[in-house]
Structure 1
Amino acid sequence: MAAIHCLHPRWLIPIEPRGLVLEQHALVLQGSQIIDLLPSEAARQRYQDAAHQVLGDHALLPGLINLHAHSAMSLLRGLADDLALMDWLNNHIWPAEARHVSDEFVYDGTLHAMAEMLRGGTTTVNDMYFHHEAVARAGLTAGMRVVVGCSILEFPTAYGLHADDYLGKALTARDAFHGESLVGFSLAPHAPYTVTDATFGKVLTMAEQLDMGIHCHIHETRDEIEGSLKEYGMRPLARLQALGLLGPNLVAAHVVHANDAEIALLAKYGVHVAHNPASNLKLASGFARIHAMQQAGINVGIGTDGAASNNRLDLLGDTRMAALLAKAESANPTALDAATALEMATLAGARALGLADRIGSLVVGKQADVIAIDLAALETQPVFDPLSTLIYAAQREQVSHAWVAGKQLLKERELTTLKLDQMQAKARWWQSRIAVGRSDTTS
């Protein structure tokens, strides 16, 4: 029988019910699960033989869930900044990927990203990239929970030749990791402007037959919408509705440009939205109407996007940004309060991934995906309301501990499964290699 571990934080924030803060309570872990949540004194009496860990000035909460990321692109951080989206993609990112993306690149880049995310309190990532088996292997190496989004496009890349080739590779990777509890797979058609109606139809059929989620960039820019109107005579969401793609298994990334009718449409079909505030700002994509979406009943989680367009995989920081932007965009200072923002970064992400019965809140019977954030620092004192402090004042550097399925991956700011010096050396090696490739094309 697995040993019992009792965590005694200053504040315990279960997320369910929303806004609840428990003081002088303990969270009890055994193996991969949460087995109890009770007052600290009662825990000491009930579990006398357990290991008891006091986290005196810490808030204990579920691990954060990054609902949209391209993890391997951590190796392209800073490669092409201060550019418009299509210029950034067509003239910089896609050419660099064509030259360098490989199984090794994706494994190294994903592992690098996971180290950064774990140090910032993210324990689950909904990824979208190529070389799916490399992403899954990186997740298993790090011990992090990952949903591997298998990218699908019409045109050839260094990974695939055409849509059917990408779909075939997605199935092969899914089968290779069947039974791995920390690894899931979804189908990730890149965007309406890179995927045809016929391919969307195949994605939908495959997703329904295999009970897989769908992960897609939707309504990220005005150019995307204008292009769809010219080519199809309708906006992208209307096209996806006509194709039968809208539904509760769809995670729509960005959704920056949605009018009232489209927000109602998303709510009607139960589509989940992955809000990427930092990337939207940096690429000047616009201001997503998050308050209106939530008022309509849409489930909205938080994503970082890739480090090439963010440039920080800092979900805690992006959640703060989301709260501030929602207030400004809606001209309503009460929009997106701290408790709701924290739920977006945890339970909302779990709902979007179909994992709310396993992660996203500290509930008995769920998986022990847990983080501790030390609020003793000068910058987060005094603490009148720990929820407010976490969203508006705390920084990712204050994340001190992290567990995934009960396994400790971060202990007093030190990673337990990954070696930072090795990953830093790998990043420098890739930097020199990519820099040479850039100079060759510009000389």
Structure 2
Amino acid sequence: MSVLVVRGAVAVLEDAGRVRTGDVIVVDGAVVDDADTTDAEILDASGCVVTAGLVNAHHHLLQTAFRTLPGTRGIPMREWLPAMAAAYNAAGIDPELTGLAARAGLAEALLSGVTTVADHHLTWPSGADTVGMARAAAAAAADVGARLVSVRGAARDDPQEAASSAQAIVDALVPDRPGGVSADGMLQVAVGPAGVHSDPRETFDLLGEVAHRHGLRRRTQANEVVDVEIALERYGRRPLDLLEDWGWLAADVTLAHLCDVTPDEIGRVAASGTSATHAPGCDVPMGWGVAPVRALRDAGIAVGLGTSGGGSNDAGHLLADARLAMQVSALVGPQLPASEVLSMATSGSADGLGRTELGRLTPGSAADLCLWDVSGVADAGVADPVAGLLWASPGRRPRTVVVGGRVVVDAGRLVRADEGEIVARLFERVTR
């Protein structure tokens, strides 16, 4: 039996605004109420706020290899999508690049306090080794010590080929696992077309069949600007009308973005039990909209937080995007308090993945946690150190990160991988 005690914190954020002091006790990778700590490993949290590991509910890890590309900033989404597609085609998407990009993105995630990443991978060239690509991303997560939700997405893929690939990925990565979650909880498989702007009903139907067969979560993107425009042009209807008809408003579905939604649509999403993911670090700087998070939450919709990918955000720093979410919320309704946004970045995101053991530090939860040093000058004068995690020190990094009871970041450095080597290998691949 392994016992870890996190001791001496300024504050411990347990769940949804519940703050306490005292120890966090971990036994065999799970948080417990109490245990014999005689021979425990002690993790000194002096001067720190302890939170659950952040959960990035919407990322595109491949885009880590395609950041700040010329001609991809401040342009309409109709122009951005083909610009990114051209870059992917020129680079050649294969298992090697998929793994290297995922390794860099996941290392960045851990170093910024994110312990679980949902990777909505949308680029699967026809005829490619898609199982090899999924394996490469999973191996990258295992290498650095992060949890990964591997989403077999689709973006104009042949529907039959996408479904066959999704089934093969389940068989290869999580065979016979309930909900597509590995026995150790470190890997999860889900499915999700890019959106109605990209994929026909057949793709939604066939990927949905794979999901229902294995109890997988379903995910898609909805109601960004281009999504609404193309749905109206192609079908004469709005995206959520289509998703409702196609069976993709349901309790096992999470919708990313939701920038342009009406009160009626919000009510229908809430009634269906569908959850949502806010991605302000993508949508705001690109001018694609701001999701009305206050209205979504007030309707009873579970809302998580994601960064989206490096092609639009350029950073995978979820805490920085949580700060942005808090700040821009006042543009579309009452301002969200820091406590709510922190819960979105932890338990809210985890719940949308069907992983209620993540994103909180209550007994029985997985021992994924971060120690955030609040003793420096950036936090001087801060009255509420938990709220200060967002209001003060933009871009702060955790001192220590633990995943499943194991330290994976110590003194701000990766424990299981070399950051310089990760960077060098990705640059070598993308500059060939």
Q: TM-score, normalised by structure 1?
A: 0.89
Calculate percent identity across the aligned residue pairs.
Answer: 25
Q: Which residue of 2 aligns with 1:439?
A: none
Choose from 66, 89, 97 the match for 1:98: 89
**Cα deviation per residue 1:220-274 (whole Å; 9 max; x = unaligned)?**
11x3213212321211100110111111111111111101111111111111111
Q: Aligned partners of 1:32 and 1:187: how far apart in 2?
A: 28
Deviation (angstroms), 1:30: 2.0
Choose from 208, 231, 235 the match for 2:234: 231
**1:22 correspondence with 2:20:** yes
In the superposition, relative to structure 1, how do residues 271 and 241 fare at CA in structure 2: closer, same or farther (>3 Å)?
same
Q: Aligned partners of 1:56 and 1:395: how far apart in 2?
A: 21
Q: Aligned partners of 1:9 and 1:81: how far apart in 2?
A: 44
Q: Aligned partners of 1:96 and 1:428: how far apart in 2?
A: 15
> How many pairs align?
411
Structure 2: which 5+ residue stretches go unaligned? Answer: 125-132, 175-181
Q: How does 1:2-21 map to 2 (within 5 A)?
A: 2=2, 4-16=3-15, 18-21=16-19
Amino acid of the structure 2 residue aligned with 1:284:
G
Q: Aligned partners of 2:161 and 2:54: how far apart in 1?
A: 33
Amino acid of the structure 2 residue aligned with 1:88:
W
Deviation (angstroms), 1:31: 2.1
Q: Which residue of 1 aligns with 2:177?
A: none
**1:201 correspondence with 2:238:** no
Contact 1:153 1:163 in 2 (8 A): no
In the superposition, relative to structure 1, how do residues 397 and 337 fare at CA in structure 2: closer, same or farther (>3 Å)?
closer
Contact 1:372 1:400 in 2 (8 A): yes
Q: Which residue of 2 aligns with 1:120?
A: 112
Structure 1: which 5+ residue stretches go unaligned? Answer: 38-42, 156-161, 434-443
Q: Which residue of 2 aligns with 1:362?
A: 361
Amino acid of the structure 2 residue aligned with 1:7:
V
Q: Which residue of 1 aligns with 2:129?
A: none
* CA RMSD in angstroms, aligned pairs only: 1.6
Q: Aligned partners of 2:208 and 2:430: how far apart in 1?
A: 38
Aligned with 1:140: secondary structure?
A: helix
Amino acid of the structure 2 residue aligned with 1:196:
P
Aligned with 2:192: secondary structure?
A: strand
Q: Which residue of 2 aligns with 1:167?
A: 163
Aligned with 1:424: secondary structure?
A: helix
User: Which segment is superposed worse, 404-413 or 79-88?
Assistant: 79-88
**Cα deviation per residue 1:62-110 (whole Å; 9 max; x = unaligned)?**
00000100012111011132322221111x2101112321110010000
Choose from 134, 141, 150 the match for 2:136: 134
Q: Aligned partners of 1:383 and 1:124: how far apart in 2?
A: 29
Deviation (angstroms), 1:299: 0.8
Deviation (angstroms), 1:397: 3.6
Q: Aligned partners of 1:219 and 1:9: how far apart in 2?
A: 45
**1:427 correspondence with 2:430:** no
Amino acid of the structure 1 residue aligned with 2:26:
L
Amino acid of the structure 1 residue aligned with 2:371:
A
Choose from 240, 243, 263 the match for 2:243: 240
In the superposition, relative to structure 1, how do residues 270 and 9 fare at CA in structure 2: closer, same or farther (>3 Å)?
farther
Q: Which residue of 2 aligns with 1:49?
A: 39
**Cα deviation per residue 1:381-421 (whole Å; 9 max; x = unaligned)?**
23311221112114444311111111111001010111111
Runs of 4+ in 1 over 6 A off after TM superposition: none
Amino acid of the structure 1 residue aligned with 2:85:
W
Amino acid of the structure 2 residue aligned with 1:342:
L
**Cα deviation per residue 1:310-351 (whole Å; 9 max; x = unaligned)?**
011110010011011112221x3xx31111111000000111
Choose from 214, 219, 222 the match for 1:218: 222
Contact 1:152 1:167 in 2 (8 A): no
Contact 1:219 1:225 in 2 (8 A): yes
Q: Which residue of 2 aligns with 1:338?
A: 338
Q: Which residue of 1 aligns with 2:278?
A: 275
Q: Which residue of 2 aligns with 1:146?
A: 148
Q: Which residue of 2 aligns with 1:33?
A: 30
Deviation (angstroms), 1:216: 0.7
Amino acid of the structure 1 residue aligned with 2:170:
R
Amino acid of the structure 2 residue aligned with 1:81:
R
Aligned with 2:431: secondary structure?
A: helix
Amino acid of the structure 1 residue aligned with 2:219:
H
Amino acid of the structure 2 residue aligned with 1:142:
V
**Cα deviation per residue 1:255-308 (whole Å; 9 max; x = unaligned)?**
111011111111111111110101101221112111111111111111000011
User: Which segment is superposed worse, 308-317 or 169-178?
Assistant: 169-178
**Cα deviation per residue 1:23-42 (whole Å; 9 max; x = unaligned)?**
2x0011122111236xxxxx
